[in-house]
């Protein structure tokens, strides 16, 4: 009887290279510090042509029909208060403070973070040979591999740290 067993394990990390990650660093736009607290205006609200897809009640109490520009429905101050309330209650705890600028000399309006991808791979190979007599023998080979990838920036969805994805592959033969 002959038996063979082999194991190969890999633990590695490398810079993530998809979804706009450059050199292992992902830069994503976040709110300016004042936008999160309601003290800094959102540039572009007063000139925005985006429209509401459904009726909304404006900050003056008037109900505006679908298709009304947001700049008509909300004043900049009301919009700031609304966003500030929403962010503080639900989302702000997940959004890091900006630490870099997207334009040279511009305001801190983006967050750059290390986007390192981790890989764990376990591969097993088994082989058995048994000769019973000159006409009868039994042999078998089995391969099992399980691999997991931890991606800091998911394929779809969030571009902030803490919302990555874990992907796995498994091969058996």
Average the pLDDT over 91-119 and give the result: 78
What pLDDT does 97 receive? 76
Q: What is the pLDDT of residues 43-73, one digit of tens each?
A: 666 677 888 888 888 878 889 999 998 878 8
Average the pLDDT over 24-38 and give the result.
67
State how far the Cα of 141 lies from the Cα of 68, in Å rounded to an integer.
68
Which of residues 122 and 172 earns the better pLDDT score? 122
pLDDT value of position 15: 78
Which range has highest mean pLDDT (38-42, 60-64, 89-93, 103-107)?
60-64
Bridging pattern class, strands 63-64 and 110-114: unpaired
Report the pLDDT value the prediction gives residue 41, as an integer from 0 to 100: 60
What's the pTM value of the predicted model, to 2 decimals? 0.51
User: Among 17-26, 29-38, 52-61, whose mean pLDDT is lowest?
Assistant: 29-38
Nearest to 31 by CA among 82, 99, 77: 99
CA distance 88 to 159: 19
Closest alpha carbon to 123 in 96, 151, 142, 136: 142
pLDDT of residue 79: 65
Burial annotation 25-35 (CB, 10 A radius, 16+ → b, else e): ebbbebbbeeb
pLDDT of residue 46: 66
17-21, 155-159, 161-165: segment of lowest average pLDDT: 17-21
Q: So where are the chain's domains?
A: 2-24+114-172, 31-95
């Amino acid at each position: 009887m002959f038996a063979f067993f082999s194991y190969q394990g890999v633990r590695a990390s490398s810079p993530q290279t998809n979804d706009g990650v450059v050199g292992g660093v992902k830069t994503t736009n976040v709110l300016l510090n004042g936008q999160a607290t309601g003290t800094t205006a959102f540039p572009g609200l007063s000139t925005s042509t985006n429209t509401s897809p459904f009726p909304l009640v404006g900050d003056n109490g008037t109900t505006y029909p679908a298709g009304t520009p947001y700049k008509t429905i909300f004043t900049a101050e009301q919009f700031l208060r609304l966003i500030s309330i929403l962010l503080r209650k639900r989302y702000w705890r997940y959004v890091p403070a900006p630490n870099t600028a997207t334009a040279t000399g511009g305001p801190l309006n983006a967050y750059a973070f290390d986007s390192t991808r981790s890989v764990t791979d376990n591969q097993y190979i088994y082989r058995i040979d048994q000769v019973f007599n000159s006409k009868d023998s039994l042999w078998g080979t089995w391969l099992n591999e399980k691999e997991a990838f931890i991606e800091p920036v998911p394929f779809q969805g969030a571009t902030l740290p803490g919302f990555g994805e874990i992907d796995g592959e498994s091969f058996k033969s």
